[in-house]
Structure 1
Amino acid sequence: MCDESRTDTVPGLPGVGRGAARRAGRPDEARRAVRRAVAERCRALHRPCDADALSDALLVVSELTTNAILHGGGITDFRVDVVGPDVRVSVSDRSDALPAVAEPVDPQGRQRLGGRGWPIVCRLARDVHVSGLPSGGKCITALVPLL
């Protein structure tokens, strides 16, 4: 999805059937949910969590939730699940608009603030999928490696 401008309309949230719906109306709540899910998995495997990989997952969830608030009319659903060596986060919002990369400079040559979140998500995630929701809005699901 990061290299394309398309979206699929599917019923429900894509690929998050086993995901734990967590209350996350703000980026800090979403980060806490990801930390909890990853820590639970590391405890179950009896090994330490990779701090750099966790940081990547936290940055991805921060960008997705912040963008849902700033550009998508708010977070309507949030799910997190650790699947094998990856953490999967899904953030839904009210907007049908696809994520976009903003040019770093405006037409007058001034540096723009923001516009870097989507490229960060695309760089850190192993897979990103954007799905249109039947009731309107979209769900962005990102799979971030933990190893």
Structure 2
Amino acid sequence: MDPRGSTDGTRRLTLAGTTNVVSRSRDFTREALIAWCWLPDGESAGSDPEAAEDVLLLVSEVVANACLHGRGPRALVLDCSPERLRVEVTDGNPAPPVRIPDRGPDERAQPGGHGLLILERLARGWGSESGADGKSVWFEVPCPPGVCAPAG
């Protein structure tokens, strides 16, 4: 893992060329959320485990989508301020994410195709920014009150 920027509110994990990227990303994010008091570590008074679990789910979805549709994730960036947490995942495919159209009742139980729906429901906002050699997919969630997020 590459926890650059770990002394403030920005952390970066390089994923290109690594294995187990979804679990690495979740572990990296969990460590940051503990440091920022979103999750209890035995010493923190303020925490919001439900909000943290939503973030971990969203990180898993975005990284998995980069694996399946983005030619593999390159990096995960967490940027936490007292107001919000922004998560960005870069990959090697410049094409923007595409939401699968709503499915009929018989098709809803089928695996796959739910990642962007989960992102839309749990994140305050999300989007993607394409570049010449790939894209960045990002989402933001509000910082729960009472946690000790870094002061930008």
TM-score between the two structures when normalised by the length of structure 2: 0.72
Aligned length: 126
> Matches of residues 1-147 of structure 1 in structure 2 within 5 Å?
19-24=10-15, 25=18, 26-42=21-37, 46-103=44-101, 105=103, 111=107, 112-133=110-131, 135-147=132-144
Q: CA deviation digits over 1:77-108, x for unaligned, max 9?
A: 211122214322110111122112213548xx
Which residue does the alignment assign to 1:9? none
Answer whether contact 2:95 2:130 (CA < 8 A) is retained: no
Cα distance in 2 between the residues matched to 1:23 and 1:65: 12
3-state DSSP of counterpart to 2:36: helix
**1:23 partner amino acid:** T
Identical counterparts, % of pairs = 29
Q: CA deviation at 1:55?
A: 0.7
**Structure 2, gaps ≥5 residues long:** 1-8, 145-152
Please list every run of 5 or more consecutive structure 1 residues that lacks an aligned counterpart in the other structure.
1-17
Partner deviation per Cα, 1:9-67 (whole Å, 9 max, x = no partner):
xxxxxxxxx63212345111111111111111118x94332011001100110000000
Supply the distance in 2 between the matched residues of 1:127 and 1:19 (Cα, whole angstroms): 19
SS at match of 1:122: helix
One-letter amino acid of the structure 2 residue matched with residue 83 of structure 1: S
Q: Higher relative contact order at CA 8 Å, sep ≥6: structure 1 or structure 2?
A: 1
The RMSD of aligned alpha carbons is 2.4
TM-score by length of 1: 0.74
The whole-number CA distance in structure 2 between the counterparts of 1:73 and 1:144 is 26
Distance 2:51 2:126 in 1: 17
Paired with 1:40 and 1:59, the residues of 2 have a C-alpha distance of 18
3-state DSSP of counterpart to 1:77: strand
**Structure 1 contact 125–143 (Cα < 8 Å) conserved:** yes
Q: Distance in 2 between matches of 1:47 and 1:121?
A: 29
Separation in structure 2 between the aligned mates of residue 104 and residue 115 of structure 1, nearest angstrom: 10
Q: 2: CA distance between counterparts of 1:51 and 1:32?
A: 15
